[in-house]
Structure 1
Amino acid sequence: MIPGDLQQVLYCLPAGMVIGSFHFGGLWLTIHRLTGERSRGVMFAAGFVLRSFVTLTAVFMVSGGEWIGMTACLAGILIMRKICIFNLRPKAIGYTKGSLR
């Protein structure tokens, strides 16, 4: 790996995490707002199109159109996906550590 490539990876990985937090945070907000809406399908589709457009545009802009930067951005987005899944998953009711023996 060339030092310039390493610098690009070190720049694009955290940028991908920011992009991922926007994408999955927006998804979470969209899902939570669907319960009070009449046109759920339209709102979900509009949220999807907006999030996808912003995410893809940001990845392309941050990476400069180079595959190494895009790969680093993708890695950052996937890291944020794992973090969001871990932090936003539903909590089990009535379960305490060690209660199942």
Structure 2
Amino acid sequence: MQMTWYDLQKMVFCLAVGLGIGYFHFGGLWLTLQRFAGTRRYGLVFVASFLFRSFVTLAGVYFAGNGEWLGMTACLAGILIMRKIFIGKMQPLAVIRTKGSPV
């Protein structure tokens, strides 16, 4: 199978859409954990957020990839790149221990 310019453009587009979908998915997860952890029905809020984010993510991957495996794979690559970025940005800062400090 010969790759054409159209295929390359489609893959770049799907990668960019995947980055946006990943930002939405993992940003929504971060907001859910930050803002709704103190609510009375945090389980319900968390499940509703998970279902909504998952539906939007799966629908976005399917429609951006136009149902073709090459486009959906490029979308998935964008989501995984965004996941790696979020993991790197959301790491807690290292605690520096000094001599004589407790713990």
Give the TM-score normalised by structure 1: 0.88
Q: CA RMSD in A?
A: 1.2
Structure number with larger C-alpha Rg: 2
Tell me, in whole angstroms, the C-alpha distance in 2 between the residues paired with 1:35 and 1:69. 36
Name 1:2's counterpart in structure 2: 3
| Structure 1 residue 78 corresponds to structure 2 residue 80 | yes
How many residue pairs align between the two structures?
Answer: 95
Give 1 or 2: higher helix fraction: 1
Instruction: Give the counterpart letter for 1:2 in structure 2.
Output: M
Listed one character per residue, the Cα deviations across residues 26-80 of structure 1 (whole Å, up to 9, x for unaligned) are: 0000011232201111010000000001111111111111000000000000000
Percent identity between matched residues is 55
Comparing 4-13 with 71-80, which one deviates more in the overlay? 4-13
In structure 2, runs of 5+ residues without a counterpart are 98-103
1:49 to 39, 48, 51: 51
Q: 1:17 corresponds to which residue? A: 19
2:40 alignment partner, SS class = coil
> Larger deviation: 35-44 or 20-29?
35-44
Offset, 1:5: 1.9
In the TM superposition, structure 1's runs of 4+ consecutive aligned residues that sit over 2 Å from their partners are none
Instruction: Could you tell me which runs of 5 or more consecutive residues in structure 1 were left unpaired when the two chains were aligned.
Output: 96-101
CA–CA distance in 1 between the matches of 2:37 and 2:62? 33
